[in-house]
Amino acid sequence: MPVLQPIERRSGLSPEIFAKEYLGPLKPVVFTDLMGSWPAKKKWTIEHFKEKYGDLVVPVVSNNFSRPGKGYLAADMHITFREYLELLESGPSDLRIFAWNIFWKAPELREDFGMPSIMDGFVDELPFLFFGCEGSRVTLHYDVDMSHVFLNQIYGRKHIILFSPEQSQQLYQLPFTVSSHVNIKDPDFKKHPALEQVKGLEVMLMPGETLFIPRGYWHYIEYTDGGFSIALRSFDSFLFKIKGLVSNAKNYAVDRLMNRFMGQRWYKMKVRIAKKRAEKGTF
Ligand SMILES: O=C(O)CCC(=O)C(=O)O
Ligand SMILES: [Fe+2]
């Protein structure tokens, strides 16, 4: 594994200290008390979701999500939320629900949490739920919209590895994407020599904890247990919002189109470019 340092855990942080020590320098931190007295912490159980929202249809993704070809960047299947939760309870699987805005369909759930007052710029319209079965993994990526993400762990544990944006090239970022397909937990240094130089951060995020992922930060996630989180997003400024949207639209459109026409060949091209960039001038 590359060098990984533990992410600091803090409680009782004021907005001023957070701004000075973490937001300003874009440094990740785990809050142990940011959720405060959110009803969601107790109320949002698998049983509660099954009972009240079991009939909603959810898009489920598998490891096919990042594979080139037909299923690229698409949901693998649509099943009921109840069926998904039963899968989650029944043991390991690669199935996840990625960035689901359940609140359009169930607005009353919004009363169970609130936007933190730790900084300004939270976007009320963009709370997303993320579910994963035990052992499922989220490919190494950063978020296209360049927002700061506050990932609130409600149920189960997650092992999260982060890398700063300056290391994008050494992480073999695939061009026209915000992803890298290197195996960060068991890297092949022969194949990816630049990985020997990267330095990351890690945490086992526990229920009740919130991880601050600064804008542009790379994250890789493994669901140690089946579980779920709610991610809240904030932007420092309108400019960053626009920048995020533009870069998103541009890259996403090119990548989808080329995947459609070239499939595997497009993927191989991206891998070649990533390798060239990662190892340029370094060896
Ligand atoms: O926890 C997950 O499943 C993915 C979270 C993520 O990528 C995000 O919040 O940006
Ligand atoms: Fe993400």
Confidence of residue 283 (pLDDT cuts 50, 70, 90): very low
- Whether 230 lines ligand 1, by a CB cut-off of 6 Å, is no
- Whether 146 lines ligand 1, by a CB cut-off of 6 Å, is no
The DSSP annotation for the chain comes to --EEEEPPEE-S--HHHHIIIIITTT--EEESSTTTT-THHHH--HHHHHHHHTTSEEEEB-GGGGSSSTTTTS-SEEEEHHHHHHHHHH---S-EEEEE-GGGT-GGGGGG----SSSS-B-TT--EEEEE-TT-EEEEE--TT--EEEEEEEES-EEEEEE-GGGTTTTTPPTTSSB----SSS--TTT-GGGGG-EEEEEEEPTT-EEEE-TT-EEEEEESSSEEEEEEEE-S-HHHHHHHHHHHHHHHHHHHHHHHHHTHHHHHHHHHHHHHHHHTTT-
Residues 50-97: tens digit of each pLDDT: 999 999 999 999 877 666 666 666 667 899 999 999 999 999 999 999
* Separation CA 260–CA 249 (nearest Å): 16
Q: Calculate the average pLDDT of the chain.
A: 92
Among 3.90.1150.10, 3.40.50.2000, 3.40.50.10490, 2.60.120.650, name the CATH number for the domain at 3-279.
Answer: 2.60.120.650
- Whether 143 lines ligand 1, by a CB cut-off of 6 Å, is yes
Model pLDDT, residue 70? 67
Closest-CA residue, ligand 1 atom 5, reads 130
Ligand nearest to the CA of 179: 2
Mutation test of ligand 1: which of 221, 230, 248 has the most ligand atoms closer than 8 Å to its C-beta? 221
For the chain, the residue count is 283
Model pLDDT, residue 86? 97
Kindly give the number of the ligand 1 atom that is closest to the alpha carbon of 151. 9
- Whether 151 lines ligand 1, by a CB cut-off of 6 Å, is yes
Percent of the chain with pLDDT over 70: 95
Q: Distance between the two ends of the chain, CA-based, in angstroms?
A: 20
273 vs 206: which has the higher pLDDT = 206
Strands 9-10 and 29-31 come out as parallel
Look at residues 209, 174, 165, 228 and name the one whose alpha carbon lies nearest to residue 66: 174
* Distance from Cα 98 to the centre of ligand 2, integer Å: 9
Residue spans per domain, the chain? 3-279
* Distance from Cα 159 to the centre of ligand 1, integer Å: 12
Model pLDDT, residue 278? 92
Kindly give the number of the ligand 1 atom that is closest to the alpha carbon of 160. 1
Kindly give the number of the ligand 1 atom that is closest to the alpha carbon of 229. 1
* Separation CA 269–CA 66 (nearest Å): 15
- Whether 132 lines ligand 1, by a CB cut-off of 6 Å, is yes
Kindly give the number of the ligand 1 atom that is closest to the alpha carbon of 130. 3
* Mean pLDDT value across residues 185-209: 96
Kind plus residue range of the DSSP H or E element containing 15: helix 15-18
- Whether 162 lines ligand 1, by a CB cut-off of 6 Å, is no
